[in-house]
Amino acid sequence: MHEITKDMEILQQAIVRYSVERMRMDPPEIDAPMTPEQLTAMAGQTITDKGLGGLEALRLFTDVLAPACISSDHPKFLAFVPAAPTEASTLFDLIVGASSICGSTWLESAGATYAENQALRWIADLAGFGHNAGGAFVSGGTAGNLSALVAARHQRRRGKTELEPLRGLVISSKGAHASIKQATYVMDVDLLEVGGDRLTGEDVEEAITGLSEIDRKRLFAVACTAGTTNLGIIDDMKGIGQVSDEQDVWMHVDGAYGGAGLAAPSIREAFNGIELADSFIVDPHKWLFAPFDCCALIYKDPRLAREAHQQQGAYLEVVYDGVWNVSDYAHHLTRRARGLPLWFSLATHGTKAYSDAVEQTLAVAKATALRIERHPDLELVTEQNLSICVFRKKGWHAEDYAHWSDHQLETGQSFVTPTKHNGETVLRFCIVNPRTTIQHIEEILASL
């Protein structure tokens, strides 16, 4: 099983050939999910005592399993937050897998960590974090938000034994991503949601002022958002940062989707105040053109995160004093060097290309909003924010949107799912793929 045989050499060539062909598909098939019954009928039992052989297993994947997975890099995939990895990042992802790097400690992965840290440095500089900033690449925004809030709680309790028995408290907006609520659930702390779609400094100040004495002691973080997933709204980070500083409360920014906008000069001003945060995240697998899975988690003072997250154990003593042990900065130990594909793409293309690509998607989003405004049967629900457009078709109800969305996917035309705004079912475009053109948008709008 671990020997390089002639059959394995043939399989290597077949896998590389498929990978290159898949990357070169322009566009790829959008594909669609199948039922378990359909997959059972087509694939059958794939794990057997003697194995199927590599070529047959690959055939099952390419002919049956892959077509049952929606292609998130299709230019008409506009639901959720799509992905659009560069070819360079995807190619290097193959190298990361082939290199068998455990990206946990400096001892095991000094070269990989050095490269990842340069990619983190670029993102930290975009946010205006100081030269001491640093962190780790984790699996996604949920892991990043959880790890940041764990560090925030540790900082609050640091040296204050009287706070240890108290159940912690986090303030966020009602428009925050579900991962913030999930993080508080996992941590067994309370969440106070305040404000409306956009959290302001006044909202936070009013909420803190209204806390009881014991609740004020329990408060350890304010979690705000730099680009909400549903509407693309950026919270008042400058105001929130000022209040958080005055109240000595950790400020965390969830920029999983919207944080990539930091790279776009045309909208950089909208993120003013992020430099006041103690931590923030952005997912390169969303709008910074990296493959899944990749979230950049950055702390202004990584030492606090290290105190909170470093794992102890006799067999780990040899790595305690590593130059930069990535495992120390989040809720993980063993980890893939998942930041390397982003680093390779940045090193290959340069940061200017990234800024241009983000600007391209913003231009398409603005042009999309204009098309919707001019359409006799469509209207924007909210103003266009970042690369998101939320709109309704006049006279349509929830079942109309669902039927249209299902038909679009089943016929391979697009993947656009309904969402809700103030209880109303509406449609939402999220444009993060530079290959998405206004022609693609016009084709989708013409089907409504």
pLDDT tier, 159 (very low <50, low <70, confident <90, very high otherwise): confident
* pLDDT tens string 296-305: 999 999 999 9
Q: Is there a single domain that holds both residue 64 and residue 106?
A: no
List the CATH number of the domain containing 374: 3.90.1150.170
Mode of pairing for the β-strands spanning 418-421 and 424-430: antiparallel
pLDDT digits (tens, 9 = 90+) for 216-249: 999 999 999 999 999 999 999 999 999 999 999 9
Structural domain contains residue 372: yes
pLDDT at 162: 87
List the CATH number of the domain containing 142.
3.40.640.10
The pLDDT of 96-120, averaged and rounded, is: 98
- Give me the pLDDT at residue 7, please: 94
Asked if 183 contacts 149 with a C-beta cutoff of 8 angstroms, the reply is yes
Tokens of 46: 């794939």
Full residue range of the structural domain in which residue 389 is found = 351-446
Same domain, 134 and 265: yes
Please tell me the distance from the alpha carbon of residue 196 to that of residue 209, in angstroms, as a whole number. Answer: 18
Of 312, 328, 349, the one marking the end of a domain is 349
Distances (CA, A) of 126 to 208, 239, 386: 30, 19, 17
Residue 297: CB atoms within 10 A of its CB come to: 27
For 360-389, write each residue's pLDDT tens digit: 999 999 999 999 999 999 999 999 999 999
Same domain, 171 and 223: yes
Q: Is residue 77 part of a domain?
A: no
User: Looking at the 3D structure of the chain, how many domains does it have?
Assistant: 3
Cβ neighbours of residue 225 closer than 8 Å, sequence gap 6 or more? 172, 173, 175, 176, 177, 199, 233, 234, 235, 253, 254, 255, 258
Strand order through the sheet with 424-430 = 378-380, 388-393, 424-430, 418-421
- How many whole angstroms separate alpha carbon 317 and alpha carbon 272? 41
- Is the pTM higher than 0.95? yes
In the prediction, which pLDDT does 56 show? 97
- Report how far apart, in Å, the C-alpha atoms of 290 and of each of 73, 143, 341, 433 are: 11, 17, 6, 11
Same domain, 198 and 337: yes
381 and 337 assigned to the same domain? no
Residue 79 covered by a domain? no
Vertex 166: Cα angle to 164 and 167 (nearest 5): 115
Nearest to 151 by CA among 326, 359, 336, 306: 306
Per cent of the chain over pLDDT 70 is 100
Do 100 and 248 reside in the same domain of the chain? Answer: yes
pLDDT in tens, 318-377: 999 889 999 999 999 999 999 999 999 999 999 999 999 999 999 999 999 999 999 999
- Mean pLDDT of all residues in 99-124: 98
pLDDT at residue 295, rounded to an integer: 98
Is residue 197, in this structure, part of any structural domain at all? yes
pLDDT at 164: 85
Domain assignment present for residue 78? The answer is: no
What's the whole-number mean pLDDT along residues 141-160? 96
Query: Does residue 387 form part of some domain?
Result: yes
Q: What is the pLDDT of residue 111?
A: 98
Does residue 223 sit in the same domain as residue 338? yes
Q: How many CA atoms are closer than 13 Å to the CA of 370, on its beta-carbon side?
A: 7
Q: Is residue 88 part of a domain?
A: no
In a domain, 75, yes or no: no
Least Cα distance to 274 among 266, 263, 284 occurs for: 263
Picking from 226, 236, 125, 121, the residue whose alpha carbon sits closest to that of residue 176 is 226
